[in-house]
């Protein structure tokens, strides 16, 4: 519940400081904290679970305590240290402030077609709800894979310790971090968002299917690595999509709606894998289901792109009929 407002708040906060053409890379650099936290947290968490058992508490309780405390301290630090807007940044020179404010204002004026919606309109807007469902399906696959990866790795060999599992789990997240940042920079460079959101989902869905199909542990880990790279590469271009058709004042509500509905997938995905694992005895069997869900979200994103292109074509045809002049 506490985390629910943090992510959409930060996504909107970044729009106060960065231009639209830089947004995907900016979101990717922020979101990179997630796979990086796995790179650091996976071996650290498993080491704590294996080695810290003081004061009568089990390892997993120490893990939760030691990894929760920094978030509390940083929460207080953010309140006092995080500057609201460029106008308030005392650490910028006056000329730097004026330049940044001017650039952001030009960026806002360059998008006269964006809509301003009320709270209820933003919550019920068809495009917002459509994006919400795409993100819900994505979260099913993303969080399902992340939560159950240790179990999947453990299934490769019964001789692995928790610490060894954590070290192996680092590798996919290192690759995913690099891939996500590179893909987001490509999205910013080309200015294209929708296809850059769809293609990573296709990669993730196919790779998950491969991970569930291969018996060889090395091939399975390669597929899991590709799947996570696709899942994380999707994030930054996707969160740039609402800014294409909504005003800055409306974006916070739409991002919150998309994130809230999408995060329900964080419950569904791991739960489904848990049920399938209980029924089959193999966590990898759940990847088959998640791969299908991810491919569904890929199709939905592609259809959204084609629908918009079709609408544009229809608008052009209408102009030609009214004016008699080819456009």
What pLDDT is recorded for position 305?
Answer: 53
What pLDDT is recorded for position 199?
Answer: 92
Angstrom distance (rounded) from CA 165 to CA 276 = 22
Domain count, the chain: 1
Can you read off the two tokens belonging to residue 139?
Answer: 């979260």
Report, as ranges of residue numbers, the positions in the chain whose pLDDT lies below 70.
110-117, 143-152, 155-158, 162, 245-250, 252, 282-284, 305-327
Can you read off the two tokens belonging to residue 254?
Answer: 């739409």
- Tell me the sheet residues that pair with 115: 246
Q: Residue 51 maps to which CATH number?
A: 1.20.1250.20
CA distances from 36 to 29, 41, 172, 176 (A): 10, 8, 10, 9
To the question of pTM greater than 0.85 for the whole model, the response is no
Can you read off the two tokens belonging to residue 18?
Answer: 């960065």
Range of the domain at 292: 3-323
What pLDDT is recorded for position 144?
Answer: 64
What pLDDT is recorded for position 311?
Answer: 45
Interval 264-320: pLDDT, tens: 877 777 777 778 777 777 666 777 777 888 888 898 888 875 444 444 443 333 333
What pLDDT is recorded for position 158?
Answer: 64
Quick check: 317 and 171 in contact, CB under 8 A?
Answer: no
Can you read off the two tokens belonging to residue 277?
Answer: 């694992």
What pLDDT is recorded for position 315?
Answer: 37
246: phi then psi, degrees, rounded to nearest 5: -125, 150
């Amino acid at each position: 519940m506490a985390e629910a407002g943090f992510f959409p708040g930060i996504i909107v906060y970044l729009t106060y400081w960065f231009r639209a053409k830089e947004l995907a890379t900016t979101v990717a650099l922020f979101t990179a904290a997630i796979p990086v936290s796995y790179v650091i947290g996976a071996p650290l968490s498993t080491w704590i679970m294996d080695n810290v058992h003081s004061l009568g508490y089990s390892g997993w309780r120490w893990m939760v305590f030691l990894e929760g405390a920094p978030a509390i301290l940083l929460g207080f630090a953010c309140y006092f240290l995080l500057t609201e807007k460029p106008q308030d940044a005392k650490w910028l020179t006056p000329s730097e402030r004026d330049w940044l404010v001017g650039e952001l204002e030009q960026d806002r004026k360059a998008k006269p077609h964006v809509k301003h919606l009320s709270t209820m309109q933003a919550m019920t807007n068809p495009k917002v709800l459509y994006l919400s469902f795409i993100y819900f399906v994505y979260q099913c696959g993303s969080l399902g894979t992340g939560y159950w990866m240790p179990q999947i790795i453990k299934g490769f060999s019964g001789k692995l310790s928790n610490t060894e599992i954590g070290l192996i789990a680092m590798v996919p997240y290192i690759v995913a971090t690099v891939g996500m940042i590179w893909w987001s920079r490509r999205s910013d460079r080309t200015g294209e968002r929708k296809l850059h959101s769809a293609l990573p989902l296709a990669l993730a869905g196919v790779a998950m299917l491969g991970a569930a199909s291969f018996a060889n542990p090395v091939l399975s880990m390669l597929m899991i690595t590709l799947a996570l790279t696709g899942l994380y590469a999707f994030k930054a271009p996707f969160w740039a999509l609402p800014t294409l058709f909504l005003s800055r004042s409306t974006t916070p509500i739409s991002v919150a709606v998309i994130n809230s509905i999408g995060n329900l997938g964080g419950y569904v995905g791991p739960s489904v894998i848990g049920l399938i694992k209980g029924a089959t005895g193999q966590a990898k069997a759940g990847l088959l289901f998640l791969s299908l869900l991810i491919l569904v979200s890929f199709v939905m994103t592609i259809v959204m792109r084609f629908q918009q292109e079709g609408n544009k074509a229809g608008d052009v045809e209408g102009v030609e009929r009214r004016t008699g002049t080819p456009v």
